[in-house]
Structure 1
Amino acid sequence: MTLCRPDVLNAQTPEMWRAMHEFSRELPGDVRVVVVRGEGRSFSAGLDLAVATGVGRGGTTGGALAELAALPPEECAERIAGFQAGFTWLHRPDLISIAAVQGHAIGAGFQLALACDLRVLADDAVFSMAEVMLGLVPDLAGTKRLVELLGYSRALELCVTGRRVDATEAAALGLATVVVPRPELDAAVHDLTAAVLAGDRNAVVEIKALLAGAAGRTPAEQQRAEREAQTRRMRDLVGLGE
């Protein structure tokens, strides 16, 4: 899935979020890996401010943010839930999602990278959770992922300062699966995809579910989940699965 607005560094709009959700609904059932990319020199510079605020359209003001704010609170929240769906499908247990990140991944761009299971970064990649600079909060399902990856304190620091994190720091923090020179980004993504596809699909699905749910389980619950998953795998391998 490629964001293709290179002239504005793949800045995102509500229409794009709806299209991303629709893309997920049209995926063939045999797809195992989804790679998310940005066309051009940046992954995504975040929210398209011209669309969000209306600035740049002959001096008009308003835009998508004003339209959302004018809705009754429950309707506004429901509209945002629809936007989130453009990101959260990347969490699906039957898929491994990989973000191929070059250049800027700011705000919504950072959250899109976080929505993916794995992140391959070019050495010029820069992350920033910049919503605070607009007086907003990250609301595209990125906050939980950030806390899970970094812990509360570091996630808080990044979100309330909006500071930029380069590829070297991203690797040190655990935000990057791997960092490679920019010319090697496509090859690194290809190699990672091939490695994922080399594994048994049903085993990969079970492993993702085990790890994704681990934080919410007690040790005993996690051990039970492992036993149950392994039982399903063994029965399937000898032809006794459902």
Structure 2
Amino acid sequence: MSDRIQVTKKDGVADVKLVRADKMNALDDAMFEALLATTEELARDKSVRCVVLSGDGRAFCAGLDMGNFGKMAEGNKEGGSPSGRQGLTPRTHGITNRAQQAVWGWRALPVPVIAAVHGVALGGGFQVMLGADMRIIHPETKLSIMEIKWGLVPDMAGTAIMGSLCRDDRLRELTYTGRIFSGADAAEYGFATEVSETPYERAMELAVQIAGKNPDAIRANKEIFNNLPDMTAAEALLQESVLQDKLIGSKNQIEAIMAELQKRPAVFADS
């Protein structure tokens, strides 16, 4: 995956960078493969406690590679599928297809993901950003739910995420028009956790802070938040009790207490 995505790991933080800078990190087939492979590898690595996702060069991600749209214009229906072989309805990765998993894979990771966004995040690139738990965006970034420009709907898991972030009527306006908006607007609309002139540095600052907490509790918190949309109140209340029972008295939870009482950095075991 080194020609599309580079991953470096230090002190529990995985620094994941899209590195197709000459194409503004556009999503071609190799990039889709790299996104899937990266989330699969990170999910297996118990030493990873937080992830920072960013783009190299001038942009976070410019969206789907123009070559795919050329195939569609020629009447090649396969051009609409990143796999180039079949339609999008078959589920290939649990509840998702291959294109959706490029976004949903970040949401499904057991550890927090922070997207550091600059330059542009358009169409599919905007949806990749949405897969993160938090999004730190430069105020001058250009963003768009751009699929309508190509006569399409967002189909990379974006519709399953956007509604929980953005007010319904604003989301409809942005989706119906494909209007480009700024990082500052994204904060107002609910897509940006915060804006920053230095989004990568701010994302890394947050990641280091999170990586210094009890990794078992961090993973449990993400599990709680990921499950909540599908739960009744009774199920949600039971979930927090079950997960808390697992944490209380565990090795890492005791270490968290002792480090706090002794006013020293905690030394946690991998989850």
TM-score (norm 1): 0.84
Aligned mates of 2:115, 2:156 — CA distance in 1: 16
User: 1:148 is paired with a residue of what secondary structure?
Assistant: coil
Match of 1:134 in 2: 150
- Identity over aligned residues, as a percent? 29
User: 2:135 is paired with a residue of what secondary structure?
Assistant: strand
- Which residue among 3, 8, 19 is the counterpart of 1:4? 19
For residues 162-203 of structure 1, give each alpha carbon's deviation from its aligned partner in whole angstroms, at most 9, with x where no partner exists: 11221111112221112111xx22321121111111211011
Aligned mates of 1:64, 1:193 — CA distance in 2: 41
- The two structures, once aligned, show a CA RMSD in angstroms of 2.7
- Which residue among 133, 156, 171 is the counterpart of 1:155? 171
Unpaired runs of at least 5, structure 2: 1-15, 256-271
Aligned mates of 2:68, 2:238 — CA distance in 1: 49
- Which residue among 206, 227, 231 is the counterpart of 2:245? 231
The reply on whether 1:204 has 2:221 as its aligned counterpart is no
Match of 2:235 in 1: 221
CA deviation after TM superposition for structure 1 residue 47, in Å: 0.9
Moved more, 110-119 or 228-237: 228-237
CA 1:24–1:211: 2 relative to 1, 3 Å = closer
Q: 1:52–1:63: 8 Å Cα contact kept in structure 2?
A: no
For residues 73-101 of structure 1, give each alpha carbon's deviation from its aligned partner in whole angstroms, at most 9, with x where no partner exists: 7x543378122222221112522111110
CA deviation after TM superposition for structure 1 residue 219, in Å: 2.4
What is the identity, as a one-letter code, of the residue corresponding to 1:104? V
The reply on whether 1:35 has 2:52 as its aligned counterpart is yes
TM-score (norm 2): 0.76
Q: 1:147–1:155: 8 Å Cα contact kept in structure 2?
A: yes
Unpaired runs of at least 5, structure 1: none
CA deviation after TM superposition for structure 1 residue 158, in Å: 1.7
What is the identity, as a one-letter code, of the residue corresponding to 2:41? E
CA 1:72–1:186: 2 relative to 1, 3 Å = closer
CA 1:211–1:15: 2 relative to 1, 3 Å = same
For residues 189-235 of structure 1, give each alpha carbon's deviation from its aligned partner in whole angstroms, at most 9, with x where no partner exists: 12111111121101111111112222322223222222222111114
CA deviation after TM superposition for structure 1 residue 107, in Å: 0.3
What is the identity, as a one-letter code, of the residue corresponding to 1:226? E
Match of 1:13 in 2: 28
CA 1:194–1:49: 2 relative to 1, 3 Å = same
- The equivalences for 1:1-242 within 5 A come to 1-27=16-42, 28-54=45-71, 61=74, 65-66=78-79, 68=81, 75-78=87-90, 81-181=97-197, 184-236=198-250, 237=253
CA deviation after TM superposition for structure 1 residue 111, in Å: 0.2
Structure showing the higher helix proportion among its residues: 1
CA deviation after TM superposition for structure 1 residue 160, in Å: 1.4
Aligned mates of 2:109, 2:249 — CA distance in 1: 20
Aligned mates of 2:41, 2:157 — CA distance in 1: 21
Aligned mates of 1:87, 1:174 — CA distance in 2: 18
CA deviation after TM superposition for structure 1 residue 62, in Å: 5.9
Extract structure 1 runs of 4+ deviating beyond 4 A: 60-65
Aligned mates of 2:80, 2:230 — CA distance in 1: 37
What is the identity, as a one-letter code, of the residue corresponding to 1:91? R
CA 1:162–1:206: 2 relative to 1, 3 Å = same
Aligned mates of 1:19, 1:64 — CA distance in 2: 23
Aligned mates of 1:123, 1:68 — CA distance in 2: 32
